[in-house]
A and B are shown apart, each in its own frame.
Chain A
Amino acid sequence: MKDLIIIGAGAIGSAAARTLAQYELDILVLEKESDVGEVTSSANSAIVHSGYDPVPGSEKAAMNVRGNLLYDQMCEELDIDMRKIGSLTIATNDEEVEILRGLEERGRQNGVPVQMLNREETLALEPNLTPEVKLALLAPTAGIVNTFELSVALMENAMDNGVKLNLNEAVTGIRAIEGGYEVTTNRAVYQTRAIVNAAGLFSDEINNFVNPVKYEIQPRKGEYFVLDHFDPDFIRHTIFTVPSSKGKGILVSPTTHGNYILGPSAEFVEEKDDYSTDGETLAQVLATAKKLVPSIPMNQVIREFSGLRAVEKSGHFIIEESLPGFVNLVGIQSPGLTSCPAIAEEVVKFLSNTMEMKKKADFNPRRRPMVRLNRMTPEERAEFVKKNPKFGNIICRCEMVSEGEVLDCIHRNCGAATIRGVKRRVRPGMGKCQGGFCQPRIIKILARELGIKNEDVRMKSPGSFILMGETK
């Protein structure tokens, strides 16, 4: 019997795995997709929220504020790209000024540093903002994170410390047995003493297998534009509209790679796999974004995407031990990314109710740092490449990624096995040409390193093939 099965390897499951890897436990993570962080944890705004916004006293507020606090150390230890650039929430009329004052008060109650800036102060910080701005709420502890790197780094470190990960394995049933649970998947049957349900959009179904209290997740879609990294100083903070009942509103933000994102919309949808984007919604996103930043250069758009928020009917984060040894992390919508290290701490508390939690002597909290060529001086880089020639071979023209970086991301724990896996870890294909130049090269490298045929390399899931066999 295993000690623990974690269902789902998004940010929440991966953070739980990493935190629990400190303890003497036999842990297996089951993930139905071909990679970790493949679902909501790689399709979101990637903001480390400061926590001024959630209702004071709520679980969301507590997790957000604690999560934000834990982020610096977590990202430092795991070499995750994260920068606390601060956020500005913008009011452009009297009604919004009212709401903003309310948010300032909430921020104080949540213990989050916030500061009001007048029009001149705001425009001095962000000259490209709308001149209509009347008042802005600055939250200096808000940050941006490389959301792709987050789940990967957490899981890599968990695996470095003994956690086992099975990809392409979906849980199809759970039942309570003597001293634990029996978990059935598309590939095997396991027995385990405890379960962490971190299945995101499907966390209701996992819960409903065993818990008499039923939950229901309603997916709520957010659609975005991504712009190229055309000017590092175009916008320097995360810019929010004042939130409404529909969500945090629209934001305009730089990403950790100097791209810009605009979004998200907020519409409930029927299907949990509906990632389509539609013209009308995106036109609205753009119109709202332009109210914040009128001069957004739309010729810099390189792609659109959408993500699905896992909204539980109650609207709350459900973080609980619902049955002995069965920990639910249900309805973890925004700010889930920010909250992940805090939620992981809660999991430890719940599990210590049923299990002996003994710390390992040899837990290593650090991940081997990524090689970041573009942060080296020419001299450092020349020196490094001399010793590691594969880092001299540049295979992505837009993002200037080397073969060495691709090889490294394939051969680490929790390594990339798909084109998207490589793209999300080291960026070839993220740029202006969207893989037009590098994709053939990535296919060849993956095939060679994984010992498979070129036509068996996938974008992500088993059906997402690119090539259809050799020509005669």
Chain B
Amino acid sequence: METKQYDLIIIGGGSAGLAAAIAAADHGVEKILILEKEDEAGGILLQCIHNGFGLHRFKEELTGPEYAARFASEAEKRSGIEIKVRSMVLKITAEKEVHYSSEAEGYCVVQGKAIVCATGCSERTRGAIKIPGDRPTGVMTAGLAQRYLNIDGYFVGKKVFILGSGDIGLIMARRMTLEGSKVLGVAELMPYSNGLTRNIVQCLNDFDIPLYLSHTVKKIIGKERLEKIVLAQVDEKFQFIPGTDQEFEVDTLLLSVGLIPSNPLLTEIGVQIHPKTSGPLVDENMQTSIPGIFSCGNSLHVHDLVDFVSMEGETAGIAAAQFIQGTLATSEDVIRTEPGPGVGYLLPASLHCGKDADGKENDFVLKFRVQKPFQNVSLVVKQNGQILKKVKKAFLIPAEMENLTIRQADLLEKNGILSVEVSNE
């Protein structure tokens, strides 16, 4: 079997993969291959036909497909980038071979000097959250419903309830209402919403859709198609409170109960996985535990804003270019990161002091989510227990990913433990 050689192979042509390819090409990588399983590049954005993308990056409100199209056309302008669609990657090896399959080309193996894995995330399903009851149709993830509606042009339900206040669920509440379905409510297990505030306002409040906080679905009823759900309130320990059962007659229950980075290709070859995010452990270059294999976007950790996905893709693309050109500095000294009190996870997992592509001392962008909502607090960055930086925050919510930049000059030393915590002071 012939193994075609590339400099860089990018798996997944979503926002992250496209941004990585463009950045790598602009930093001198000549032969780049993007493998995308769908009919066109663009990723999950292609089914997000609502507005609200690109506020940070382009200072204007674009729809998902518009945002994706800007990146896709940038990629097309660069002669070094080849995009193969309808090509599913089945397997990669530590030697950076990539096995993919398509109807047009059959089963192929290609090899790169570096790989960027940008395969996006998948939705948590009923099985993952264990809702008891019958197993009728009409219980589906919100993203699947979004695809049926926006890509395939089909209704999935007339009377709808939504479990989970993640952004996709909120957006679908509005979308289905506009299509003439009746959305009876959104239930959230936590005492606060898991979606962006703007989505709560624009998708629920503006349409008088009730949000039931500290509630969850207790039972699913229906032999063939969904007929009813039983909703109940939970206490602080997530136990059902007796006497709070409410029945809703619905034909559809959409689940918006979380997204998980999807990394079957990486886990199979033993790349180390972050216990909290389910994405790989990476350093400031988005490099995984296997040198030359990089990760970015929703397959690294779940993002709420595509602008940050694009930035992360660029970081990975530039680092891959440096790796290929042999200029990716990796010092022996390593700073490990650790989430402090109030912080759920903290990325990157490790940091090396080195030089960026322009030869300047590199900065570190710390990304994290808080564990629960906070008001009027400070975010404190510490190294080995000593405060490096303190930033006041009026509001912090788990639904929003936070960013903090640390410069090398801020650091006490080139190793040790760096942490971020939420402080009341």
A contacts, CB < 8 Å to B: 226, 273, 275-279, 282, 301-305, 378-379, 381-382, 385-386, 389-390, 392-394, 397-398, 400, 402-403, 432-437, 439-440, 454-455, 459, 461-471
Contacts and interface: CB of A to CB of B under 8 A. Distances in A.
Contacts of A381: 107
A468 to B, nearest CB: 4
Contact of B132 (A278, A303, A468, A470): A278
A303 B149 CA distance: 26
Contacts of B224: 461-464
Q: Which 4 A-B pairs have the closest CB atoms?
A: A463-B224, A303-B127, A394-B88, A385-B106
A257 B123 CA distance: 22
B225 A382 contact: no
A304 B130 contact: yes
17 contacts: A277-B132, A278-B133, A302-B128, A303-B125, A303-B126, A382-B107, A382-B108, A389-B104, A392-B107, A394-B101, A398-B264, A434-B126, A436-B122, A436-B144, A440-B144, A459-B137, A467-B154
Interface stretch (B18-26, B155-163, B201-209): B155-163
A304 B262 CA distance: 21
A164 B53 CA distance: 57
B99 interface: yes
Contacts of A393: 86, 101-103
Nearest to B119: A397
Nearest to A306: B135
Given A464-B137, A469-B155, A471-B149, A394 B108 contact: no
B191 to A, nearest CB: 21
Contact of B125 (A273, A389, A434, A465): A434
Nearest to B90: A400
B147 interface: yes
Interface string B219-244: 10001110000000000000000000
B290 to A, nearest CB: 19
Contact of A277 (B99, B101, B133): B133
Interface in B87-123: 88, 90, 99, 101-109, 122-123
A54 to B, nearest CB: 31
Q: Most A CB atoms within 10 A — which of B102, B105, B107?
A: B107
Interface of B: 1, 37, 86, 88, 90, 99, 101-109, 122-123, 125-128, 130, 132-138, 140-141, 143-144, 147-149, 151-158, 179, 219, 223-225, 251, 262, 264
Contacts of B122: 432-433, 436-437
A378 B107 contact: yes
A163 B157 CA distance: 40
Given A385-B101, A454-B154, 16 more contacts: A275-B134, A275-B135, A276-B135, A282-B132, A301-B130, A304-B130, A304-B132, A385-B106, A436-B122, A463-B223, A463-B225, A464-B137, A464-B224, A466-B137, A469-B155, A471-B179
Q: Most B CB atoms within 10 A — which of A386, A389, A436, A469?
A: A436
Contact of A468 (B102, B152, B155): B155
A226 B130 CA distance: 11
Nearest to A376: B107
Contact of A467 (B88, B104, B109, B148): B148
Q: Most A CB atoms within 10 A — which of B88, B123, B151?
A: B88
B46 to A, nearest CB: 13
B1 A382 contact: yes
A470 B150 CA distance: 11
A466 B156 contact: yes
